[in-house]
Structure formats: C-alpha cells, structure tokens
C-alpha cells in the first residue's frame, strides 16, 4: 500500500533492514534524552534494538503499520525512524531523530513527506499525532509540517522515563484538503 522508499531533498525514508539495529543503537535508542518523552525506555543492549527493528520489519507484513528508517542521504547514515499506523480512515504518526541531528529540520522534513504520501491514499482522510505537553520541540515539528493542535488529551500516554503515571499530551491532526 505504501512505498518502501520515500525520498526528500535530504532524506531517504526506507523500510528498516536488520543492519539498522546497530546503527540506531549507536545513535539514539540508548540515549535517555532522546527517549525522555517517548513510550519506551532506552535500550540497554544491542539485542533490544535488534528486536525493535525485527518488529518494524514484520509490521510491514500486517499492512496497517509502515515504519521507515530515516537516512540522511549525503552521509548515508540512519538518523531516526518514522512510523505510520493506519486505523480505518485515520492514521497516526510517530517519529524519533538522533539527538546529534536535532534542530536541523529532519523530523519536519520526514513528517511532511509521510503526510504527503499518506494523503495519496484515498482511504486516509486524517493523520494524527501526539506529544507530551512538555515536549515543545515535537509540537513545533508538527506545526511546521502543517498539523494543527486540537487540544490536550489528559493522562493519555505513559512516558516511563518521566513518570509511572500516564501524562497529558497535545493532540495534533491534519486532514485531506
């Protein structure tokens, strides 16, 4: 349903391959600052990242989850991941970028590409995403990608690196124009 590769000016979004496990383990999965607002704890071992990549590869077979490794094309390195989870006429998107690459516009570029490709498919009418209310950088990414904040979802998401209790999140969306 979705392309295995999506190219932008500076990035290639491609289906993960097993070799990506080493790359993401070295660049971001074990970084507590990257994982701070996310739903997973930092990886402790390479095997943790290998399981994650294996699960993302298998997800493509389900047809409802599309995960792409984010590759910075000039250097040819994996700098993150972006995922689209299809739920009927809506799809939700999540992303992560290595801390060394923050502030360079890569998350926004990847998100814009996934939004554009998502709306090529007539069955998807709406894309949604959430971020912790304290994660101002992620909120800016969504806004720069054209998403609109709809409100706050109280106690919506567990961020285990911050709290054992579910946290409030900003809800963003964009609809087919």
For the domain that residue 96 is a member of, what is the CATH number? 3.40.630.30
Give a yes or no: residue 62 inside a domain. yes
Question: Mean pLDDT score of the chain, rounded to an integer?
Answer: 96
Give a yes or no: residue 137 inside a domain. no
CA 88 from chain centre, in angstroms, equals 19
CB 67 within 8 A of CB 81: yes
Both tokens of residue 119?
């709306």
Q: How confident is the model at residue 3 (pLDDT cuts 50, 70, 90)?
A: confident
Q: How many CA atoms lie within 13 A of 52 on its CB side?
A: 27
Per-residue model confidence (pLDDT) at position 121: 87
Give a yes or no: residue 143 inside a domain. no
Per-residue model confidence (pLDDT) at position 108: 98
Both tokens of residue 134?
């304290």
Give a yes or no: residue 22 inside a domain. yes
Give a yes or no: residue 161 inside a domain. no
Number of domains forming the structure of the chain: 1
Average the pLDDT over 141-161 and give the result.
Answer: 98
Q: How confident is the model at residue 63 (pLDDT cuts 50, 70, 90)?
A: confident
Question: What's the order of all strands across the beta sheet hosting 90-97?
Answer: 5-7, 11-14, 65-72, 77-87, 90-97, 126-132, 166-175, 148-158
Average the pLDDT over 54-60 and give the result.
Answer: 92
Per-residue model confidence (pLDDT) at position 38: 96
Q: Is the pLDDT of residue 83 over 80?
A: yes
Give a yes or no: residue 81 inside a domain. yes
Give percent of the chain above pLDDT 90.
Answer: 90
Q: Is the pLDDT of residue 1 over 80?
A: no
The domain of 80 spans 5-124
Give a yes or no: residue 19 inside a domain. yes
Average the pLDDT over 134-142 and give the result.
Answer: 98
Give a yes or no: residue 45 inside a domain. yes
Average the pLDDT over 35-62 and give the result.
Answer: 94
Q: How confident is the model at residue 73 (pLDDT cuts 50, 70, 90)?
A: very high
pTM over the 0.85 mark: yes
């Amino acid at each position: 349903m979705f392309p295995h590769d999506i190219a932008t000016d500076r990035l290639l979004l491609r289906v993960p391959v097993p070799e990506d496990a080493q790359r993401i383990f070295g660049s971001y999965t074990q970084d507590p600052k990257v994982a701070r607002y996310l739903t997973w704890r930092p990886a402790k071992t390479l095997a943790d990242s290998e399981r994650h990549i294996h699960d993302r590869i298998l997800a493509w077979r389900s047809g409802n989850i599309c995960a792409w490794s984010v590759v910075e094309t000039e250097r040819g390195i994996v700098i993150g991941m972006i995922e689209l989870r299809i739920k009927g006429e809506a799809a939700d998107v999540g992303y992560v970028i290595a801390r060394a690459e923050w502030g360079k516009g890569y998350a926004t570029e990847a998100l814009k590409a996934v939004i554009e490709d998502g709306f090529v498919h007539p069955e998807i009418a709406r894309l949604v995403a959430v971020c912790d209310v304290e994660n101002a950088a992620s909120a800016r990414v969504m806004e720069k990608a054209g998403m609109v904040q709809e409100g706050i979802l109280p106690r919506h998401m567990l961020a285990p690196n911050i709290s054992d209790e579910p946290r409030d999140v900003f809800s963003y969306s964009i609809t087919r124009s």
